[in-house]
Structure 1
Amino acid sequence: MVSETASWVPEGVNTELPSAARVYDYLLGGGHNFPGDRELAEKLLKVVPARDMARLNRSFLRRAVLHLVEQGIDQFLDLGSGIPTVGNVHEIAQGANPDARVVYVDYEPVAVAHSELMLTGNPNAAVIQADMRDPEKILAAPRTRDLIDPARPIGLLMVGVIQFIPDADDPWALVGRYRDLVAPGTHLAISAFTWDNAPSGMAGAVELFRNSQDPIFPRTRGEILRMLTGFDLVEPGLVYTPQWRPERPEDAADADRSNLYAGVAVKPA
């Protein structure tokens, strides 16, 4: 693991306050995290199967991106993209279509710094530092406009991120703002923390994240489903992450350890 004095840490980053991106990095086996992140993650593992949740969510991301490529999507906007680890969106999409273009968006400086390093020499991928609550700014950003044609369908990815938007910031309206800004045929892939399967464990997770820079707000299936208003869900609908088009039937057996709902939906013409 890295030390607090590592030279790659952007200036001004509070390495003592845990960050969701760095906790996720640790749970996935990454090395860009600090003692506070690891301490929170270890406490999290005592209340929910956090490593399984992270792994299953990452697997959903891969299957969803490949599905979108199969549907003809060749430009992607990945909101809350996090710290680069194995199986990033550009690796998946460009592996299937070398001409695919990807814009990553995160507000966490460490995530952005490492994405910039990873994307050096890749003309079809970029990262911008921005808050996903400002869709107009994100879609108007020069790097976004360089790579994404707003008149054509995009792959809009909100994978494991919407639970960081509190009710007070109206995540339902936020998804609607993105929906209204993108072209018909755009596919939205979403996954989000839920209370439904393990209410006491998720309540413990909420308490742990309360003292981080990214409090979490798990939601019921109905609340997450409401975010997809104006989109048409594709089969199998909104399900636990391993239940979304598993590569093998037995993979869906992990559903009770997922604690995230996931789905893909299309903006109709």
Structure 2
Amino acid sequence: MSENQAADTPQKRPDTGTAHNARVWNYWQGGKGNYEVDQQVGDHVAGMIPIIRDIAFADRQFLIRAVRHLAEERGIRQFLDIGTGLPALENTHEIAQRIAPASRIVYVDNDPVVLAHARARLTSTKDGATAYIDADAHDPDTILRIAGETLDFTKPVALMLLGILNFILDDTEAQAIARRLLEPLAPGSFLVLTHPTTEPELGGALQLEAMEFWNANAKPPVTARSSKEIGQYFNGLTLLEPGLVSCSLWRPDPGDEPTVVPQLGAVAEKH
């Protein structure tokens, strides 16, 4: 029997006067779930860092490859996708359930526009489950409590943190959130993560000025981190090859000619 759920929370009104990350990201990916203010900020940031649309594309392609690998090669049937953003052409549940129709996916976001689109489009196969939690990444206990109604934490889960910990500005808090989310997951679970980086050889310096503009004109505020800082999220886990790399270079499909982007990505296993 199929399950499609959304947390019963009061309907929030979208803030159309300030650019929001999920909507701007959607604009960069060519989507329509955005407002004029999102387009204006998105265009300005793109003028400062022209590679931003490549970053958005690379991040989504990384998600597709990582979910496909975990579902096909590692037998993962449960995914907890935090900071899911607006639905795109290929979403976590569509990739996973195409491979294994009984897969169970929980999406988490706190943008009302994302919630409205999720209710309409993030629907499950009849054998699996797709649920949506309206919650904040700063509150991992609430996320885990509600996600546990759909996912079985005694079995492996893929924890998806794509472009979300960069909105936790305090390094110690960001690491604590990642650890808390991993804590109840069974051995054989995986952490799938992307994060903007300051590494100069990847073009990270371009991001810093653009992020200053973003933080003055959009929500939520964002930060980039070094590869060493990002690598700490994987402490105690086993990184899959090729390790922590520009997300476009993580197991590219045959024939791809990926653009190197200042967005690191990796997949690691919990033992």
- Considering the TM-score relative to the shorter chain, is it more than 0.5? yes
Secondary structure at the counterpart of residue 227 of structure 1: helix
Hey, what does 1:32 align to over in structure 2? 33
Distance 1:179 1:120, change over 3 A: closer
Aligned-residue offset at 1:199: 3.8
Distance 1:34 1:233, change over 3 A: same
Hey, what does 2:102 align to over in structure 1? 99
Separation of aligned partners in 1, 2:244 and 2:204: 19
Secondary structure at the counterpart of residue 65 of structure 2: helix
2:138 aligned with 1:137: no
Question: Conserved in 2, the CA contact under 8 Å of 1:107 and 1:131?
Answer: yes
Question: Conserved in 1, the CA contact under 8 Å of 2:82 and 2:108?
Answer: yes
Aligned partner of 2:184: which letter? L
Secondary structure at the counterpart of residue 177 of structure 2: helix
Question: Conserved in 2, the CA contact under 8 Å of 1:16 and 1:35?
Answer: no
The range that moved more, 69-78 or 144-153, is 144-153
2:233 aligned with 1:227: yes
Separation of aligned partners in 2, 1:41 and 1:91: 27
Indicate the percent of aligned positions where both proteins have the same amino acid: 35
Alignment counterpart, residue 155 of structure 1, candidates 146, 153, 158: 158
Hey, what does 2:14 align to over in structure 1? 13
Separation of aligned partners in 2, 1:249 and 1:261: 21
Distance 1:76 1:223, change over 3 A: same
TM-score (norm 1): 0.90
Aligned partner of 1:30: which letter? G
2:136 aligned with 1:113: no
2:53 aligned with 1:51: yes
Separation of aligned partners in 1, 2:19 and 2:125: 30
Hey, what does 1:236 align to over in structure 2? 242
Hey, what does 2:6 align to over in structure 1? none
Separation of aligned partners in 2, 1:135 and 1:121: 24
TM-score (norm 2): 0.89
Separation of aligned partners in 1, 2:195 and 2:255: 22
Aligned-residue offset at 1:168: 5.9
Hey, what does 2:63 align to over in structure 1? 61
Question: Conserved in 1, the CA contact under 8 Å of 2:102 and 2:125?
Answer: no
Separation of aligned partners in 1, 2:205 and 2:47: 12
Hey, what does 1:7 align to over in structure 2? none
| Consecutive unaligned residues in structure 1, runs of 5 or more | 1-9
Distance 1:14 1:246, change over 3 A: same
RMSD: 1.5
Distance 1:119 1:185, change over 3 A: same
Aligned-residue offset at 1:208: 2.1
- Give a deviation string over 1:137-194, Cα, whole Å, max 9, x none: 11111xx233200111101100121111111662111111112121111111000001
- Give a deviation string over 1:209-242, Cα, whole Å, max 9, x none: 2121111110010000011112111111000011
2:69 aligned with 1:80: no
Secondary structure at the counterpart of residue 251 of structure 1: coil
Question: Conserved in 2, the CA contact under 8 Å of 1:192 and 1:260?
Answer: yes
Question: Conserved in 1, the CA contact under 8 Å of 2:238 and 2:268?
Answer: yes
Hey, what does 1:5 align to over in structure 2? none
Question: Conserved in 1, the CA contact under 8 Å of 2:157 and 2:189?
Answer: yes
Separation of aligned partners in 1, 2:161 and 2:124: 26
Separation of aligned partners in 2, 1:121 and 1:165: 30
Separation of aligned partners in 2, 1:220 and 1:106: 25
- Give a deviation string over 1:42-84, Cα, whole Å, max 9, x none: 0111122111000011000000001111201001000000011
Hey, what does 1:42 align to over in structure 2? 43
Hey, what does 1:265 align to over in structure 2? 268
Hey, what does 1:4 align to over in structure 2? none
Question: Conserved in 2, the CA contact under 8 Å of 1:75 and 1:154?
Answer: yes
Secondary structure at the counterpart of residue 174 of structure 1: helix
